[in-house]
Amino acid sequence: MISEKKYDKGKIILLFGVFLVTMGFGMTLPVLPFYIEKILSAEDISSNSVSFHVGLITGAFPLTQFLFSSYLGSLSDKAGRRPLILGGIAGFSISTFIFSFSGSITLLYISRLAAGFFTASFVTASGAYIADKTPREKRGKNFAILNGVAGLGAVAGHLLGNLFSNVSIQFNLFFGQFILDKFTFPFVFSSVLTLLVLLLYFALLPESLSTRHKIATHRVANTKISFIPNFKSLKKAFVLMLALSFFSQLAHSMFEGTFALHSQRFFLFGPKQMSIVLIICGTLMGLLQLGPIAWLIEKKGEKILLPFGCLFVGIGIFMLTTPPEMGWILIYVSFISIGKAILTPSLTSLITKDSGKEYGASLGIFSAVNSLGQVAGVVSGGIIMIWFDHLAYWIVATILIIFALIISKKL
């Protein structure tokens, strides 16, 4: 049985690094489409092609996460968490730096695909690290804290991005001028920050598998690692949780991906109002997971909370299609934040509890399904909005409410 220390050095160092990595990543998100558009426009690509490539390059990141998360999660069960975490951080830092100075469309695609691969390595191994260090009954609480730290890091990144939105730094080097403008600075900052985290982890982060019953059975040690998981061998409850994870991620990414366009058409929002709503959403989600949600999961259990998570997200998304007032919009978005704050750590915890000792493999499948939901949400939301502004929101709200009823009976 795993015993949990009150102040575990490994977990504290991991969480601190996760905050810094997501802060750097959060700085890049607001400028990502504009930076891609700037590079492509410089290559005399037509406006229609620019929009097409912006969508593909943006989607390349979660695509490689989907393709490789399961494999990398299984690999962490055999090679250990630390190598995957260090490799993921190093690769993400290098690929982000290359992306910041990409002068061609080819480099944009390659660096973005690579960033998705290395992020999958870091994310799946980090989740498995927390599972290794945490007793079964405390796992939901610890995953809530992990997600809360990551969420607040992303919000801090958004705020820093706004602060440095007009930055322009020029260096005169022996080989020429080196310029950081408002587009390249966030990516360089993110790259440097993750490099510092790499040094921190290399010096101070211990291997989690060596602190418990290392996955040392002969069967696991000789298990062949596959890119495609064997879904037939998964339990029905596990498949149900994966399905719920897919649709909850689809709903959230559809909300994030279409909110700018939906709110512009329906609420007459500008960039400032949209930024306020998204920052409040991220901050609330992070704080809830660090405090009340972590406490509730520990006291009541994940299974009891899952239907409420579905209901909160479903109701919040549905209510965004009602007559607009800023105060009410913030309340509806808060419902979505509360629901996601419940669903993500609860599902992550249940996935590990249903996976025996192979946390990495299960979390890899979980991460892959989430990435697929992320891609599907953005793409389908944009297509459905061509037909009718509210239809995408109504569809996912209905699906989540139905899931709430199914889960309350099945789990």
Query: pLDDT tens for residues 152-183?
Result: 988 888 888 777 767 767 666 555 556 677 77
| Whether residue 167 sits in one domain with residue 296 | no
* 170 found inside a domain: yes
pLDDT at residue 46, rounded to an integer: 64
Higher pLDDT, 1 or 88: 88
If you average pLDDT over residues 379-407, what whole number do you get?
Answer: 79
Domain tally, the chain: 2
| Whether residue 88 sits in one domain with residue 162 | yes
* 111 found inside a domain: yes
| Whether residue 246 sits in one domain with residue 193 | no
Q: What is the pTM of this model?
A: 0.81
If you average pLDDT over residues 255-273, what whole number do you get?
Answer: 67
DSSP string, 84-147: HHHHHHHHHHHHHHHHHT--SHHHHHHHHHHHHHHHHHHHHHHHHHHHHHS-GGGHHHHHHHHH
* 380 found inside a domain: yes
**Phi, psi dihedrals of residue 82, rounded to the nearest 5°:** -60, -45
* 310 found inside a domain: yes
Each residue's pLDDT tens digit, 80-128? 899 999 999 999 999 998 888 877 788 888 998 999 999 999 989 998 8
pLDDT at residue 165, rounded to an integer: 66
| Whether residue 146 sits in one domain with residue 295 | no
CA-CA-CA-CA torsion sign (223, 88, 229, 367): positive
Please tell me which of 4-13, 29-38, 109-118, 127-136 the model is most confident about, judged by mean pLDDT.
Answer: 109-118
* 31 found inside a domain: yes
pLDDT for residue 48 is more than 50: yes
| Whether residue 149 sits in one domain with residue 295 | no
Higher pLDDT, 60 or 234: 60
Cα–Cα distance for residue pair 340/245, rounded to 1 Å: 10
| Whether residue 283 sits in one domain with residue 206 | no
Looking at 186, 201, 223, the residue that finishes a domain is: 223
Q: Helix (H, G, I), strand (E, B), or coil: what is residue 15?
A: helix
| Whether residue 269 sits in one domain with residue 132 | no
pLDDT at residue 235, rounded to an integer: 66
Q: Please state, for a pLDDT cut of 90, what percent of the chain lies above it.
A: 12
If you average pLDDT over residues 8-35, what whole number do you get?
Answer: 83
Token output for 18? 């996760």
pLDDT at residue 395, rounded to an integer: 83
pLDDT at residue 272, rounded to an integer: 65
Domain that holds residue 83: 1-223
Higher pLDDT, 43 or 376: 376
* 169 found inside a domain: yes
Each residue's pLDDT tens digit, 270-309? 656 666 777 888 888 889 998 888 888 888 888 888 899 9
| Whether residue 142 sits in one domain with residue 245 | no
Looking at 198, 223, 248, the residue that finishes a domain is: 223
| Whether residue 206 sits in one domain with residue 61 | yes
Q: Any idea what DSSP says for residue 164? A: T
If you average pLDDT over residues 233-237, what whole number do you get?
Answer: 62
The CATH number of residue 276's host domain is 1.20.1250.20
* 245 found inside a domain: yes
Half-sphere exposure of 91 (CA within 13 A, CB side): 20
Cα–Cα distance for residue pair 50/258, rounded to 1 Å: 19
* 228 found inside a domain: no
| Whether residue 246 sits in one domain with residue 195 | no
Looking at 223, 254, 289, the residue that finishes a domain is: 223
pLDDT at residue 262, rounded to an integer: 67
pLDDT for residue 29 is more than 80: no
| Whether residue 359 sits in one domain with residue 381 | yes
Residue 1 confidence class, pLDDT cut points 50, 70, 90 = very low
| Whether residue 239 sits in one domain with residue 207 | no
